[in-house]
Structure 1
């Protein structure tokens, strides 16, 4: 849990479900390595929304991992939070797929268990102080939870932009339907399907 020392706002929500999520992700064999199918999904999501960045994000106790990632050519979105990781790699490398749990808005989506639309993060004091605003330049966010058949929120699908975006009802409907589609893919995979 992280508080803003100036405004005493809770910036990162308490996530009591994290240990169960980690067990479920390990059981599914996802959330620890990049997967081409998730990268393809993120690319399709970016195309549908017109967003420059999109992610399939799985969240554990301390960090987020983008198992699916689409960025503009050569851009790095995340960075390995451990001190021994060195400088973040460019071009969507492995280090670009990690982000500290207190960065970004996906942890809010996971705890809320519902979609979050931030057309301009600077309009919301609770979200404007997030490190991704200053460190990466994020100005808008659209994300939905991946709630699996056990009721556990595995992570999120999300898109972000460095400019304010009017996602509108169409954007919200798109992100929610894409989240449902990805959960179905994960279930088919677990059941032995493709």
Structure 2
């Protein structure tokens, strides 16, 4: 089946709710930066549908395209980025066998083109972050790296929409789940008391596992409620302090429940490690990181999670032995984590995601997190978060 017509890709695209949506500053800022720093007349965030391309953001398109923000696929160069799932770097489209007959080349004067796939964490390519010039141009490695960084920021914005949809789905599931679970728990409690009075050990042998499992489900239900916050949640709670140990323990427990085939070993210090930030957002980011790590770990190896205090910061190390994680996936993971964990102005000032690749080694860095993935060995994530200073911990102790 052609990639463009893949129903899973199209479903993911529609879940973003970005098709035919109005321009937004969060995307326009990225295309303006691309146009300015790469000195190009055209910069686009393009979403490729099954029969058209839609420009979520555009700089430099002529009218009426600047207003309609879409074209048939006949004009689309970005469709080739989606089809291959790889960057498409073209110095001169007039000499390129794939593009020289494309109307965008002859009618819109698109000559040089560089496009980076917009790939979700689920591996679906939704479109392309691209730039174009009206003259032939040799794209430098530095320019392509900048374009990849901007593309990573764009996909982070897109995945925020997907995560919002996921949170709403969690909330609906919880609403349907709570009442029957509570009723089942009441029935089992009544049955358990009856068994205790009758002292029938054979019946107890069959009923007790069900009671234990319901208690486990009740605990998971409470943890899911933390992950899917209520709509009326106080926005100020996002700026509270929380004990990082609890966030990590919850994320590990939920990841283990989801992926029981990979044991997750948690090594954690006893003293509190309080950070400033949104505990639920941090739990979601850690859960996403852990579940992705298990996807690449070999079945025979465990995931090791270590949390300790190091030089005034909380240091969290996640080690997954097995396959290496591709550079694009690693960049998206770090960009997603960077948005979640804390409110520290110091981390925000340090910038975005950087990527270095070598022979069989990929190293990605974002404020507060470094990931190193080695072919045949696996991946290690090292996360460092500023701790709340001791002078303020006593005053914030009740804010969790």
Question: TM-score, normalising length from structure 1?
Answer: 0.76
Q: Aligned residue for 1:26?
A: 14
Q: Aligned residue for 1:126?
A: 98
Q: 2: distance between equivalents of 1:136 and 1:174?
A: 25
Q: 2: distance between equivalents of 1:130 and 1:100?
A: 12
Contact 1:18 1:60 in 2 (8 A): no
The DSSP-based 3-state class of the residue aligned with 1:102 is: helix
Q: Which residues of structure 2 form unaligned runs of 5+?
A: 165-280, 282-338, 340-400
**Richer in helix (by share):** 2
Q: Which residues of structure 1 form unaligned runs of 5+?
A: 1-13, 77-87
Q: Could you list the runs of 4 or more consecutive aligned residues of structure 1 that deviate by over 4 angstroms after TM superposition?
A: none
Pairing 1:95-134 to 2, within 5 Å after superposition: 95=68, 97-134=69-106
Contact 1:57 1:68 in 2 (8 A): yes
Contact 1:53 1:161 in 2 (8 A): yes
Q: Aligned residue for 2:50?
A: 61
Contact 1:19 1:61 in 2 (8 A): no
Q: 2: distance between equivalents of 1:63 and 1:15?
A: 14
Q: Aligned residue for 1:50?
A: 39
Aligned CA RMSD, in angstroms, stands at 2.0
Q: 2: distance between equivalents of 1:47 and 1:108?
A: 25
Larger Rg: 2
Contact 1:139 1:163 in 2 (8 A): yes
Matched residues, number? 164
Deviations 1:106-136 (A, max 9, x none): 0010011011111111221222111111111
Question: TM-score, normalising length from structure 2?
Answer: 0.39
Contact 1:119 1:141 in 2 (8 A): yes
Match of 2:122 among 147, 150, 158: 150
